Amino acid sequence: MRLFAKTNTSIGFVGAGLLGSGLGKALSEKGYKVTSVASQNFSSAKQLAQLIEGCTPYKSVEEVSKIADLIFITAPDDSIEDIASSLQCTRGKAVIHCSGVLSMKELQKTRDAGAYIGCFHPLQTFPSVKIAVKSMVNTTFSIEANRPLRKFLEQMAKDLGGHY
């Protein structure tokens, strides 16, 4: 069983909108290794990567899935299942979406490939990246995952100053 840890788990993002950018920046500021980002709009991926030391923008989700141990899908709800299906997930990696509407069934193909799957949804909207980073404090996160990923996500919510 794989154990996730703040200091050695590389995190990638697919989707560099307000949520992905705010969450990526906030995690980076709390000592998490945010290493890669891809977005439908490559300039958005580049903007997020510029905010985070050691983060590289990529043009495809496949590149992020090769590099990252844990992948956050922070794209629109109607694209989550397609994105998850295109990821090159191997046993032991993790894929998490941040939708407040969808269940984990949209990630089933990645689970079938051996990845851990989960949901990590902040119960709040974010009008800007700067506000998103600050607003993680006292935010409640809805978390759905099995161990050991669930424990990692619970600790992540705490590290961000939030609750689960």
Residue that the structure tokens 């993680």 belong to:
136
Residue 132, pLDDT score: 86
8 Cβ neighbours under 8 A, 6+ residues apart: 33
The predicted-structure confidence for 144-163, as pLDDT tens digits, reads as follows 999 899 999 999 999 999 99
The predicted-structure confidence for 46-82, as pLDDT tens digits, reads as follows 999 999 999 999 999 999 999 999 999 999 999 999 9
The backbone torsions φ and ψ at residue 62, rounded to the nearest 5 degrees and listed phi first, read: -60, -40
DSSP 62-113: HHHHHH-SEEEE-S-GGGHHHHHHHS---TT-EEEE--SS--GGGGHHHHHT
Mean pLDDT calculated for residue range 27-31: 97
The predicted-structure confidence for 110-132, as pLDDT tens digits, reads as follows 999 999 999 999 999 888 888 88
Percent of the chain residues topping a pLDDT of 90: 85
Residue that the structure tokens 């958005």 belong to:
44
Q: Which two tokens stand for residue 77?
A: 């709800």
What is the enclosing helix (H) or strand (E) of 58?
Answer: strand 56-58
Residue 130, pLDDT score: 85
Crossing angle, helix 42-51 and helix 18-29, to 10 degrees? 20
Q: How distant, in Å, are the alpha carbons of 53, 116, 132, 146 from that of 153?
A: 22, 12, 18, 10
Whether the CB-CB separation of 94 and 116 falls below 8 Å is answered with: yes
Residue 131, pLDDT score: 85
pTM of the model as a whole: 0.95
The predicted-structure confidence for 13-24, as pLDDT tens digits, reads as follows 999 999 999 999
Residue 2, pLDDT score: 64
Q: Which two tokens stand for residue 27?
A: 């995690």
Structure confidence at residue 1 as a pLDDT band (50, 70, 90): very low
Nearest alpha carbon to residue 113 among 97, 83, 92, 144: 92
The predicted-structure confidence for 128-145, as pLDDT tens digits, reads as follows 888 888 889 999 999 999
